[in-house]
Amino acid sequence: MKRVFLGLLLFVMLFIVSACTGKDTDRETEQLTEDTSTSFESDTAMPIEDDAEETENQETEMIDMGIFDFETKKVMLNSGYEMPIMGLGTYALDYDTCVSSVKALLQNGGRLIDTAYMYGNEDAVGEGVRQAMEEYGIPREDIFVITKIYPSQFDDPEAAIDMALDKLDIGYIDMMLLHHPGSGDVKAYKAMEKYVEKGKIRSLGLSNWYVEELTNFLPQINITPALVQNEIHPYYQEQDVVPFIQEKGIVVQCWYPLGGRGYTSELLGDETIKSIAEAHGVSSAQVILRWDLQRGIVVIPGSGNPDHIKENLDLFGFELTEDEMEQISVLDRGEKHDWY
């Protein structure tokens, strides 16, 4: 009987110890679960916030891309570089005139210059830039130079690019364009892409590419063009082409914004444009250039006249009304002034 009683007592004691140990084990397990849960939440909370912030920043950049900033007078390109929204075209300018025109632009606050192999004045543009940098204390990074290679150079694009770099002699090319479509244009563009990787060219673009050409060309390349440059003026407005390009995140730039040589007088004398100019106390040229800017089109009017160059930069002291924009839009004749 005594043995039975001792055995029963031992059993009860073991049961109590086991129960207490189990509770402690449960608490440890529960604490471990809480710690693990807290640790997981802590570890994942920051990346989720970071991802959200990064996504928001990317969305903001996408919204800003291609939108003209009339305060800074620049536009953000899809290449990540900013480009001035007005500048100087140098077509048909001889060496000395080109040098002085580039300097006049830079002296008066302009920072965008357009040239090309076919213009035969890349060396003059480079000289004007270097002189202005030295005389006016303008940093190279503040100046944006565009040049182009011609279809006759597409067979050996590397040689064409190296030639442009040598002639300009300003360290790097801010943007290089294919001058217009031609045999071997994809090959030439892919060669330019390699120079982007090397840091010799910062942004790429196309000149004289329209809806059909872009539709065929874009799927064959790796770097989306940052710019398409076409003939655009009130008599040739590309009302379908411009939004087609802009919707792809590509900035549009116009050459011949004032109609081109042989047509400028008629365009500047257009009664509608003259009337709008008188209402704002500005010139017809300023009205046309402002009209382009309000359409989101970068302007590069050509000129060898320092006074005209200065005037062509003075586009921010007035704004065209919606009605005035519409008055100019109905002037469209589909009248192209060059064959490109």
Is residue 137 within 8 Å of 166, Cβ to Cβ? no
Catalytic residue among 91, 117, 119, 189: 119
User: Residue 64 carries which side chain, given as an amino acid letter?
Assistant: D
Separation between Cα atoms, residue 150 and residue 242, nearest integer Å: 23
Separation between Cα atoms, residue 285 and residue 301, nearest integer Å: 9
Is residue 112 within 8 Å of 86, Cβ to Cβ? yes
Q: Are strands 173-178 and 201-207 parallel, antiparallel or unpaired?
A: parallel
Residue of 216, 210, 240, 212 lying closest to 228 (CA atoms)? 210
Catalytic residue flag (residue 150): no
DSSP string, 285-304: HHHHHHHHHHTTEEE--B-S
Contacts of 254 (CB under 8 A, 6+ apart): 229, 230, 231, 232, 233, 292, 297, 298, 299, 300
Locate 242 and state its tokens.
Answer: 């411009």
Nearest-10 crossing angle of helices 157-168, 185-198: 50
Separation between Cα atoms, residue 187 and residue 2, nearest integer Å: 104
Residues designated catalytic: 119
